[in-house]
Amino acid sequence: MHQYQLIFHRDRSLEIEGKQSEVVLIRTWASSYCKRVELALKLKGIPYEYVQEDLANKSELLLHHNPVHKKVPVLVHKGKAIVESLVILEYIDEHWNNSPILLPIDPYQRSKVSRKSLCQIALENFVVGSRNVVPLINTKEGTLSIIVSKGEAQEKAIEDMIELLRVFENGIKNDFPGKLPFDDQNLELLDIIVSTNACNYQAFNEAVAVVMSPEKTPTEFFLWVNAFKGHPLIKDTLPPHDKLVAKMKRKFFQSL
């Protein structure tokens, strides 16, 4: 088990390997769930330190703070742990209620970005580079259908994903008028989730199979994602492309 040098201070801040902060994020560098939280912290201007977790050799810190799921991200705020990325985002927005406000004020829109909403389901099934992409695509072939399948089966799996994006794009147009096209407005929860999930599409295309392209993907969704890539904070948060391609190749092909 990996061990960190940890000091718990009286003011309930945590010192990790010499770095002290009230807010510590336990994360991995490639996880889009973790990227959501990092982007939210940056948008709100909240100072934080992070601990890089090795999921193949989970740390005592992670197991202590997330004993049930044993997953990243975990946000440790003044010694207290918050788990599950969407719960963390809600916590950040409520605790640091300075602008930008991340959750929609409108209760209907709020329901659309909540945990079991279509928006979340669509995205979690689309998560670029994640196994979670898969259940909705082609359950018969199990969890790696998009790459284990070849030829027609793969085309069908990709078409199903693209269809999901069409449903998603229409949902955004109906429920979030003004959201598309992207006009560099304040980033909110929806933008955080979409950008951290979808902006890595080129790495996924390169490592696994071409899913998103101007020819295939619903136009406004595609433009939205590409516009995100030009946003300075998003650019600063996304994982490095080459490293991500290498990781995706290892992850997907190793599990075959």
**Interface ranges with ligand GSH (CB under 6 A):** 28, 31, 33, 55, 70-73, 84-86
Smallest separation (angstroms) from ligand GSH to the CB of 206:
19
Q: Which residue, 53 or 188, is less far from ligand GSH as judged by CB?
A: 53
Of the pair 72, 146, the CB lying nearest ligand GSH is at 72
Q: How far is the CB of 176 from ligand GSH (least distance, A)?
A: 21
Shortest spacing between CB 30 and ligand GSH, in angstroms: 8
Q: Which of 142, 141, 162, 165 is nearest to 153 (CA)?
A: 141
Q: Nearest to ligand GSH by Cβ — which residue?
A: 71
Nearer to ligand GSH by C-beta: 21 or 31? 31
Using the minimum distance from each CB to ligand GSH, give the nearer residue, 21 or 85: 85
Q: Residue 8: phi, psi to the nearest 5?
A: -95, 115
Instruction: Tell the smallest beta-carbon distance from residue 220 to ligand GSH (Å).
Output: 26
Classify residue 106 by its DSSP letter: S
- List, in order, residues 6 or more apart from 55 with CB less than 8 Å away: 28, 72
- In the bound state with ligand GSH, the residue whose beta carbon lies nearer, of 50 and 222, is 50
Residue holding tokens 């061990």?
A: 3
Minimum separation from the CB atom of position 72 to ligand GSH (A): 4
Question: Alpha-carbon Rg of the chain, whole angstroms?
Answer: 19
Cβ pair 21, 48 in contact under 8 A: yes
Residues 6+ apart with CB under 8 A from 64: none
Q: Closest distance between ligand GSH and the C-beta of residue 28, in Å?
A: 6
Cα–Cα distance between 9 and 11 in angstroms, integer? 5
- What distances in angstroms separate CA 216 from CA 63, 154, 179, one per listed residue? 42, 14, 21
C-beta of residue 34 within 8 angstroms of C-beta of residue 72 = yes
Please report which residue ranges of 9-84 form alpha helices under DSSP H.
32-44, 60-65
Nearer to ligand GSH, 33 or 168 (CB): 33
